[in-house]
Amino acid sequence: MTTTRPVLGISCCDRAFGGERAQLVINRYVEAAIRYADAAAVLIPALPELMRADEVAGRLDGLFLTGSPSNLEPWRYGEPEAAATAGPYDPGRDAMTLGLIETMAARGKPVFGVCRGFEEINVAFGGTLRRDAGDNPQLINHHAPEGADLNGLFAHEHAVSLAPGGILTRAFGTDHLEVNSVHFQAVSRLGAGLTPEAHAPDGLVEAFSGQANGAPVLAVQWHPEWRADGNPQSQTFFRLLGRALRGEPL
């Protein structure tokens, strides 16, 4: 007998491709979610001018927000516009994902995020971001040096300490991890109702969890989708997503 898998919405970015605008999501996010969360995936375009979040949310069992080279526009969390170097921006994705988070939370459906998705969830819950995680001498370096190739980007790692008794500590069976680190933005003020699940050695929040009308919210600043097939801890993150999609406790 064939069992219907839960339907997971996965965010897309609006990016340039071949001289045109395109809806893009890197395969590794989709593959890891399908394989380890055991879900069917639907890609959600960043085209808020053509579709509404509430048209999609009712058809989904959960939402997964991916990483991206783009940053959230600072005005969305109450900050003045940053210098051009703080971009690139993707206002279409900002509008669609923030609307989706709000709608999914209102409907009591799980929301998970990675890197940019982590930042989007924090902003949607009223939190703020800082934009100096790559070059502040008072912080550890959260991004590889300029000019690093793709493998070099994801080879840049640091330790995180996991919160005692937290979802991630229970799932991983340890209170510390080594995680890849590919971000310039980070949490400044944590959103309302969100609880830290992991901290970097410099104190930055690297993961958080929460509840929205009974449904779990979980996000990490690192990239568990990167080479997940060879990383049991990364697979565990996506299996948590699969449990959440099926209404199982985390």
Identify any residues that bridge with 189 across adjacent strands, giving them in sequence order.
Answer: 128
Element (H, E) at 62: strand 62-65
**Residue pLDDT, tens place only, 138-181:** 889 999 998 999 999 999 999 999 999 999 999 999 999 999 99
pLDDT tens-digit readout, 48-78? 999 999 999 999 999 999 999 999 999 999 9
Q: Cβ neighbours of residue 89 under 8 Å, at least 6 residues apart? A: 70, 71, 72, 73
Dump the DSSP string for 87-134.
Answer: --B-HHHHHHHHHHHHHHHHTT--EEEETHHHHHHHHHTT-EEES-TT
Instruction: Render pLDDT for 228-238 as a digit per residue (tens, 0 to 9).
Output: 999 999 999 99
pTM: 0.96
- Catalytic residue numbers, as ranges: 115, 223, 225
Measured in residues, the chain has a length of 250
Widest Cα–Cα separation across the chain: 58
pLDDT of residue 81: 73
DSSP assignment string, 212-239 = ETTEEEEEESS-TTTTGGG-HHHHHHHH
What's the pLDDT score for residue 131? 86
Q: 227 is written with which tokens?
A: 């080479």
Contacts of residue 22, defined as CB under 8 A and 6 or more positions apart, other chains included, come to 14, 15, 16
Domains of the chain: 7-245 (3.40.50.880)
Compute the C-alpha angle 134/193/66, nearest 5°.
45
Mean pLDDT of 36-55: 97
